[in-house]
Structure 1
Amino acid sequence: MEPDIVIIGSGIGGATLAAALAPTGRRVVILERGRRLADCPEARDDKAIFGRGHFRPDEIWFTPEGAAFNPGNYYYVGGNSKFYGAVLIRYRAEDFSPLRHRGGTTPGWPISYDAFEPWYQAAEELYQVRGDAGQDPSEPRHSGAYPHAPVPDEPAIADLRARLRRVGLRPASLPLGVDIARWLDRARTPWDAFPDTTGAKMDAETVGIARALAHPNVTLETGALATRLVAGADGRVTAVEYVKDGVPGRITAPLVVLSAGAVNSAVLLLRSGLANRSDQVGRNFMNHNSSAVLALHPLRRNDAIYQKTLMVNDFYLTGGVDGTPLGNIQLLGKISGPILAATARLPAPLANWVASHAIDLYAMSEDLPDPASRVTLAGERIVLDWRRSNWAAHEALVTKLKGLLRRAGFPIVLSRAFDRRTPSHQCGTARMGRDPATSVLDIFCRAHDHPNLFVVDASFLPTSAAVNPALTIAAQALRVADHITSRDLGA
């Protein structure tokens, strides 16, 4: 029997949409190119994950100059969220309006924060977020409380929080989707960049897919790689072509939802020749400007296990040239000696010493949309021409953070920028908007050119802001599900 809705991809967008549509009784089929990630020793082995790249796919993308690189995306049920840091934070209200940065002015969103806020609240409840909205002065209005109290600071991080306050900062608890007791019961490791195999991290599989598959009308097809969308003369998508276990397949449905990730969704649209009347598919690629910042004191050890419970937004909306924004600061998951040896290529003894004495932070600044920053195809090759923007603001954020950390009692502060091999929140390649001439999707993520095609992943984001995008993607997926249901689409 033909399904009512086909969803391509089981990451945060696709999984959340499926969970919201499942109770309607519509027949939903989810096509996921990856498999379930089973529990295994490597799931909590830092050497396997960071040193050997055990879970990384054998995938190659290219720069415009022809240089090959492994992008570090993950293809499992749940997508990249299987390895995410479980940070479920809202865009600030100011992000929804045009905002002047050192590198330019953002276009803002085609909808307001107030219109979007109820979906943030619903997404926080679905993903069981741990947080406290009263700690951060930049926090936008919430219509309800977080479902759970924040994940507690470990002693070294409680000390850091106090030190940051003494130098005039206002640290706040990170809103997180993780059951810390359950996570540590499996093994005493960080969760950031470690895959969830026990349901302790609130990712797309453990929440969205699990909720969806509790209903008999939802089916998950793993190992099914979508290769092309087919549309008729009237613009309606008539079929999805895919390959499963080496065998070509074809599926039809009244409604098709693309949620394969910002790069792969754009690739599928380009390969299919769809949704590109505006010539915006693949354009406006954004990938946060990010750096790791390590703060050390040679006489103090950091014995934290997971570490990632704190953020600073004092410079989110100001602090730069002429009062322009700089970005968000948050903790990384605790970096171990093997992680540092693998990523910074340090000798093992030095890496172990640095790791045991360092507190590891993550500085993140907004990357502004630029039509020349884009995803294209060269035959079957995926070509990523990422053109960093607003980099001077990011450098200013890192410089300011390093100075404050020294004042807070850390005489040694090191930093290193992330490069294109790290998928630091890729987004923007099929942005939504009200004008079909300048956007790919409408405000409910339906393609302007195709009445039965939606794109519900980070592709739709018109701006990257300077926070982790997972909660915003989930909130939009719930909003889109409500739109589909209330208008009886795909029934």
Structure 2
Amino acid sequence: MDNHYDVVIIGTGAGGGTLAHTLAPSGKRILLLERGDYLRREPENWDSRAVFVQARYKAPEEWYDKDGQPFHPGAHYFVGGNTKVYGAILFRLRERDFGEVRHHAGISPAWPLSYADFAPYYSRAERLYHVHGERGSDPTEPPADGPYPYPAVTHEPRIQQLHDDLARRGLHPFPLPVGVRLDESDWEHSACVRCNRLDGFPCLVDGKADAHVVAVRPALEHPGVTLLRRARVERLETDGTGRTVNRVVVDRDGVREAYSGDIVVVACGAVNSAALLLRSANDRHPDGLANSSGVVGRHYMCHINSALLALSKTPNDTRFQKTLGVNDYYWGADDYEYPLGHIQLLGKTDGQMLRAGAPRLTPGPALELAARHAIDFWLTTEDLPLPENRVTVDRHGRINLSYTDRNTESHQRLVAKLRHLLPHLGCRDRLLPNTFSRDARIPIAGVAHQCGTVRFGTDPAESALDVSCKAHDLDNLYVVDTSFFPSSSAVNPALTAMANSIRVGDHLAERLGVSLAPAVPAQVAGERVPTGAAR
């Protein structure tokens, strides 16, 4: 009986961690299983050589591509999951993203729910994750019930100049929605110190609003919530009917353990969640759990992303650079009828980061000079949910990720739009590869925006989950990471995963017959709670 819980949640990132926070006040026994440990706070957290060149915090494992070639995925197994190193840009999907969207390379399908169904949960997720922004400045922004919980993070001088130059070209640059525990009116008590180590780094001072800091840690203050670290779930087993998951089999520090729950929730990330369901095949579910439709593992999406560097003619001394975005090309352009995508700034690079992305470049003063003049851009085009882009598990238990992107014409046009703007932005007229890849395009190992492998829907023949993210085939199995996405949109997926977890949390509370207190973030000392928000 000690190993039985009301709810077992596998994974502690944007999905699992947020769900734990939502359910924690219920008084129910909740078990969190995390395959990693706490990410150690150490000087290397902010050491670009340790993080980018030595890949100190990446998972030490190999996956295999469609040609059978091994690669090291950009996965991070810690309490808080990949949010420990994410850039904390927390967008709502655009309202039109929930409908069918026609692209140059195909059709992005409609979701079974509308933006209106998600809107109140987006608002709750923005409060929980301390999102700073400015309503009305983004021309594609969906309607909201009020302002952002916290004011937009201010631009530093070179980025303010960039904003003004873009505006003079007739564009509509806007402050990015950033999840940071920041109070620019009270630096003495602000957790965030506005450093140049937000994007891709763990936060040494807990200034980043990651799932560990704002969700898991407060959840553990409730007596019914238990966290087991270094607990890798090997498989899920069902009872004789095949309708109920009755055993969660775990390898914990090399020891095999088993747990059970009235409700079992998978939140391992789109690749690992699909792999777990596939590994859990049995006589009743020969193709894997929740997979009578055959869609588990299929429709993998990760966005078509490029990391690009513009060279400013004047030095760019910005530290906290990730404050500006452009969505004027999100739905197309005057010379192109199909959506192009989204442009945002990356965190500020240094010479070590440039060397990690382009090791053939000469190390030393030349790279440092380039980094000092760099303005770093991240470009995102929607990825399409193709069934042949899929996760499989071979007989050795290895993860195979077969992926080919198709919507490249739109992405190339988005890159060209930015390149043509450069002479008007005080920059040289060419774009260079940035930190994350040798040729600017993010390679298959870049899985930060992974989604779509266990899609939800109303038709059990076409989807693995229902609209509450419960498996069609089982009575007590849910999936709450970005696996449930039917399409990827062209904005960062994290906030949608968080909002969905709150939505599913409300559903589970109703199923369990309990009421929940509103999920509200702990206040940072000195940080102003928005007017009307509960403390």
Task: Tell me which interval the TM-score lies in, with the shorter structure as reference length.
Answer: over 0.9
How many equivalent residue pairs? 489
Match in the other structure for 1:465: 489
Give 1:405 shift: 2.0
Partner Cα distance (2:179, 2:420) in 1: 31
- The superposition leaves residues 342-394 of structure 1 with CA deviations (integer Å, 9 ceiling, x where unpaired) of 11122122211111111001010000101100000112111000121211111
> Match of 1:471, as an amino acid?
L
Match in the other structure for 1:376: 392
CA contact (8 A) 1:337 1:352 kept: yes
CA contact (8 A) 1:5 1:490 kept: no
SS in 1 for 2:213: helix
What runs of 5+ residues in structure 1 fail to find an aligned partner? none
Give 1:64 shift: 2.3
1:351 is aligned, of 349, 363, 367, to: 367
- The superposition leaves residues 198-236 of structure 1 with CA deviations (integer Å, 9 ceiling, x where unpaired) of 321111100110221121100110000000000123311
After TM superposition, list the pairs within 5 Å mapping 1:84-123 onto structure 2: 84-123=86-125
SS in 2 for 1:411: strand
CA contact (8 A) 2:9 2:16 kept: yes
Match in the other structure for 2:15: 13
Is residue 237 of structure 1 aligned with residue 245 of structure 2? yes
Match in the other structure for 1:361: 377
Partner Cα distance (1:479, 1:320) in 2: 38
2:427 is aligned, of 383, 407, 410, to: 410
After TM superposition, list the pairs within 5 Å mapping 1:319-468 onto structure 2: 319=333, 322-345=336-359, 346-348=361-363, 349-379=365-395, 380-415=397-432, 416-468=440-492
Is residue 124 of structure 1 aligned with residue 141 of structure 2? no
1:295 is aligned, of 310, 313, 326, to: 310
> Match of 1:131, as an amino acid?
G
Partner Cα distance (2:47, 2:166) in 1: 32
Is residue 249 of structure 1 aligned with residue 242 of structure 2? no
Is residue 478 of structure 1 aligned with residue 502 of structure 2? yes
Give 1:307 shift: 0.3
Give 1:108 shift: 1.4
Partner Cα distance (1:8, 1:208) in 2: 15
Normalised to the residue count of structure 2, the TM-score between the two structures is 0.89
CA contact (8 A) 1:288 1:424 kept: no
Partner Cα distance (2:25, 2:386) in 1: 39
CA contact (8 A) 1:329 1:364 kept: yes
- Compared CA separation, residues 106 and 188, structure 1 to 2 (3 A): closer
- The superposition leaves residues 98-149 of structure 1 with CA deviations (integer Å, 9 ceiling, x where unpaired) of 0111111111110011111111111111111101111111110001221100
CA contact (8 A) 1:289 1:365 kept: yes
Partner Cα distance (1:267, 1:476) in 2: 21
- Compared CA separation, residues 233 and 319, structure 1 to 2 (3 A): farther
Give 1:413 shift: 2.5
Partner Cα distance (1:301, 1:64) in 2: 43
Partner Cα distance (2:369, 2:407) in 1: 34
Greater share of helix: 1
- Compared CA separation, residues 320 and 91, structure 1 to 2 (3 A): farther
2:300 is aligned, of 277, 285, 307, to: 285
After TM superposition, list the pairs within 5 Å mapping 1:118-197 onto structure 2: 118-180=120-182, 182=190, 185=193, 188-197=195-204
SS in 2 for 1:254: strand
SS in 2 for 1:179: coil
2:278 is aligned, of 270, 275, 290, to: 270
- Compared CA separation, residues 267 and 178, structure 1 to 2 (3 A): same
Identity %: 46
1:73 is aligned, of 71, 75, 83, to: 75
- Compared CA separation, residues 141 and 339, structure 1 to 2 (3 A): same
Partner Cα distance (1:277, 1:321) in 2: 44
What runs of 5+ residues in structure 2 fail to find an aligned partner? 282-288, 433-439, 516-535
Give 1:168 shift: 1.4
CA RMSD of aligned residues (A): 1.5
> Match of 2:236, as an amino acid?
L
Partner Cα distance (2:195, 2:30) in 1: 38
Partner Cα distance (1:370, 1:483) in 2: 30
SS in 2 for 1:43: helix
Is residue 203 of structure 1 aligned with residue 219 of structure 2? no
> Match of 2:372, as an amino acid?
S
